[in-house]
Amino acid sequence: MLFTNKEKVCKAIYDCNPVNMNGVEKPAFEYGKFIFTSGKIQIFKINHRVITSDPKKRRDIVDELTYVARDWNADHIVSSESAGIPWGTLVAYELGVGSSVIRQNGELMGVIPKDVERICGVDDLNTTYRTLLCVVKGVKSLGADIKNYTVIVDREEYTPENEAEFKKLGIKLIPLVTGAELIDYGLEKGLVRKDKIELIEQYKKDSDAVVLKIIKENPEWVLNHKRLDRTYEFYKNNDKIKKALEELIESDNSKEKTH
């Protein structure tokens, strides 16, 4: 069995807090309230674009990604656009193999050589499997094959449908760490602000309850968020959260009619 150095990866992510040109600290890992591209409401965010700006932390992450890809004897690396590109490129460089990118529409950027036999996917993270499925299907549509995928962080927030589809394709996914492992590391090492600990513990026990709390306490933020439509789509099969969103939208519509 392949074992990655989870503590090394967690430490690299938590320790990465560069200060930008305006003197503002930009942590790679932070707690708050966020709506991801998928529409998922979450209390923590990992910004892998921040990590690439720190050569030492980047080195720690690339070492582990390369370790996984090398164990699979990868002779070509594919990644998704756009956050996955630097990680796939760096791993391919370390292995001395080629790399290419699959766009969100499944189109190939670059070339997968005819003599390639062992393609490995390398990306920054997995949330719902949507991006990974796009890459895998894009590779297969070209007549090539892919069996393995590694990501820095697996948030493990996928829908049952996406998870089943990914497994049906026979792809082995190995994340360097999971979102839960990152949270546990921060709590264990005392790296989490005290005012966030209760929320984090609650999220671990019942994430839906925390999402409902965020919606209730931040109605304007939710309503005005550019990803509101995606959020509604993401939670369409979650009766409680879907109802909360519908009530919020209906209440807002009623206010507009009144005025």
- Does 68 lie in the same domain as 58? yes
Which pLDDT tens digit goes with each residue over 212-233?
A: 999 999 999 999 999 999 999 9
User: How many other β-carbons are positioned within 10 Å of the β-carbon of residue 58?
Assistant: 19
Any idea what the CATH number is for the domain that residue 40 is in?
Answer: 3.40.50.2020
Containing domain of residue 211, as a range? 206-253
Tell me the pLDDT tens digit for each residue of 11-28.
999 999 999 999 999 999
- pTM: predicted TM-score of the whole model, two decimal places: 0.90
In a shared domain, residues 244 and 155? no
Q: What are the φ/ψ torsions at residue 174 (nearest 5 degrees)?
A: -125, 110
To which H or E segment does residue 173 belong?
A: strand 172-178
Residue 14 near residue 186, CB atoms below 8 Å: yes
In angstroms, the CA 217 to CA 128 distance is 26
Where would I find the H helices in the chain? 6-15, 48-51, 55-71, 85-95, 130-141, 160-168, 179-188, 194-205, 207-217, 219-223, 228-234, 239-258
Q: Which of the pair, 259 or 243, is modelled with greater confidence?
A: 243
Is 244 a member of any domain? Answer: yes
For residue 118, being part of any structural domain is answered with yes
Of the chain, the end-to-end C-alpha distance in Å amounts to 63
The Cα angle at residue 58 between residues 55 and 64, in degrees rounded to 5:
140
